[in-house]
């Protein structure tokens, strides 16, 4: 049976690619999207989520507007990374659908509690919606099936400060609540995502298919590639979020360690930094499974094949 998935997301260029991968993957059933602030405002991200679903002819999937601000920290958006509208140079028509009336965190609670042990959450933005949901209804901790999180940098340098990854830096307090909640977590940090580079050759392979899907991917990733070239001297772009989604049905793409992981909240230079107790010095039990090794080209081949199929189906 297909895995029942809710995507908590801040679309976002790589978030949009994760939405497309979810739609193109028969192993999972995408039941809904909750949107959070992050790469762009929640309002812009919600509009992007609806437009991407409409582009892929999946407008039946409901989208929920989540939290606009981090729990404690001031807002931090990422127009330099994802463009002023969150999807790089891509231009999608304004969505025909509206978001649902229910708030994102209420939706997470309702879905998890109405199907105990069945819902897998995939969180690919700051963790504000999930942290709020945990505070509001702690019973979701025992009733969620699994949580896959894109976030953190364990042995890797940060991508937002020298020490911190974007999603954990933007709402470190939310990450702290989620990491210590007791939920069964699999973390996909920058240690593995920064090995998954979408190259110009990969884009050219997709562009052999004429489709609104390949046009969208091209316009969105062209901006992302320029960002990676200018700020990080990376040729191509790192597609963090689709890797996290892929692990829900192809866990063998990565190697994992069970670790105790925490996030720094001290407010200094390491605010939002995620660190793991590899040598069990704290004597605390592991609170998550952390992906620390990856087969990047196997992942990319999966991603490209799925995008080709989706593009062929939407001419």
Contact positions vs ligand BDR (CB under 6 A): 12, 14-15, 39, 78, 81, 124-125, 150, 159, 165-167, 240-241
Q: Which stretch binds Ca ion (CB under 5 A): 54-62, 124-132, 286-294, 303-311?
A: 124-132
- Which of 124/220 has CB closer to Ca ion? 124
Q: How far is the CB of 116 from ligand BDR (least distance, A)?
A: 28
First to last CA, the chain: 29
Beta-bridge partner residues of 4: 29, 119
How far apart, in whole angstroms, are the C-alpha atoms of residue 54 and residue 75?
Answer: 28
Q: How far is the CB of 124 from Ca ion (least distance, A)?
A: 4
What lies within 8 Å, CB to CB, of 172 at 6+ separation is 73, 164, 263, 264, 265, 271, 272
Q: How far is the CB of 234 from ligand BDR (least distance, A)?
A: 13
Of 54, 7, 12, nearest in space to 32 by CA: 7
How far apart, in whole angstroms, are the C-alpha atoms of residue 106 and residue 114?
Answer: 12
Q: How far is the CB of 243 from Ca ion (least distance, A)?
A: 11
Instruction: Scan for tokens 């793409």, then name that residue.
Output: 253
Binding residue for Ca ion, selected from 5, 12, 86, 203, defined by CB under 5 A: 12
Binding residue for Ca ion, selected from 124, 175, 197, 239, defined by CB under 5 A: 124
Per-residue x/- mask for Ca ion, residues 61 to 80, rule CB under 5 A? --------------------
Q: How far is the CB of 45 from Ca ion (least distance, A)?
A: 9
Is 288 near Ca ion (CB under 5 A)? no
Binding residue for Ca ion, selected from 15, 165, 264, 308, defined by CB under 5 A: 15
Phi, psi (degrees; rounded to nearest 5) at 120: -100, 125
How far apart, in whole angstroms, are the C-alpha atoms of residue 233 and residue 74?
Answer: 29
- Separation in Å, CA 277 to CA 50, 155, 178, 253, 261: 40, 11, 17, 24, 7
Q: How far is the CB of 135 from ligand BDR (least distance, A)?
A: 22
Is 125 near Ca ion (CB under 5 A)? yes
307 contacts 217 by C-beta, under 8 angstroms: yes
Give CA angle at 235 (125, 233), nearest 5°.
80
- Which of 68/137 has CB closer to ligand BDR? 68
How far apart, in whole angstroms, are the C-alpha atoms of residue 35 and residue 67?
Answer: 8
- Which of 43/258 has CB closer to Ca ion? 43
How far apart, in whole angstroms, are the C-alpha atoms of residue 112 and residue 120?
Answer: 9
- Which of 186/240 has CB closer to ligand BDR? 240
- Which of 119/127 has CB closer to Ca ion? 127
- Which of 39/143 has CB closer to ligand BDR? 39
183 binds, among Ca ion, ligand BDR, none (CB under 5 to 8 A by kind): none
Q: How far is the CB of 1 from ligand BDR (least distance, A)?
A: 28
Instruction: Scan for tokens 């978001």, then name that residue.
Output: 99
Instruction: Scan for tokens 């062929």, then name that residue.
Output: 312
Q: Applying CB under 5 A, which residues contact Ca ion? A: 10, 12, 15, 124-125, 241
């Amino acid at each position: 049976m297909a895995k029942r998935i809710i995507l908590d997301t801040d679309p976002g260029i790589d978030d949009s690619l994760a939405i497309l991968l979810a739609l193109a993957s028969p192993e999972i059933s995408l039941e809904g999207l909750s949107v959070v602030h992050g790469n762009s405002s929640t309002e812009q991200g919600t509009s992007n989520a609806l437009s991407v679903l409409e582009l892929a002819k999946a407008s039946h999937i409901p989208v929920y507007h989540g939290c606009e601000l981090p729990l404690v920290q001031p807002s931090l958006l990422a127009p330099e990374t994802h463009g002023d509208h969150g999807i790089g140079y891509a231009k999608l028509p304004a969505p025909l659908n509206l978001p649902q009336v229910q708030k994102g965190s209420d939706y997470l609670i309702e879905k998890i509690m109405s199907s105990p042990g069945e819902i897998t959450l995939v969180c690919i933005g700051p963790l504000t919606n999930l942290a709020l949901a945990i505070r509001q209804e702690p019973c979701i901790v025992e009733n969620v099936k699994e949580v896959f999180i894109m976030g953190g940098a364990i042995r890797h340098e940060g991508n937002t400060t020298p020490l911190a990854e974007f999603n954990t830096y933007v709402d470190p307090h939310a990450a702290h609540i989620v990491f210590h909640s007791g939920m069964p977590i699999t973390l996909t940090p920058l240690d593995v995502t920064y090995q998954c580079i979408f190259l110009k050759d990969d884009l050219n392979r997709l562009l052999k298919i004429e489709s609104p899907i390949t046009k969208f991917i091209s316009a969105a990733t062209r901006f992302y590639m320029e960002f990676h070239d200018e700020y990080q001297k990376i040729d191509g772009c790192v597609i963090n979020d689709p890797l996290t989604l892929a692990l829900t049905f192809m866990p063998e793409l990565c190697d994992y360690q069970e670790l105790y992981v925490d996030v720094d909240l001290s407010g200094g230079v390491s605010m939002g930094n995620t660190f793991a107790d590899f040598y069990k010095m704290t004597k605390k039990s592991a609170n998550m499974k952390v992906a620390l090794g990856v087969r990047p080209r196997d992942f990319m081949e999966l991603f490209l094949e799925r995008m080709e199929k989706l593009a062929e189906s939407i001419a």
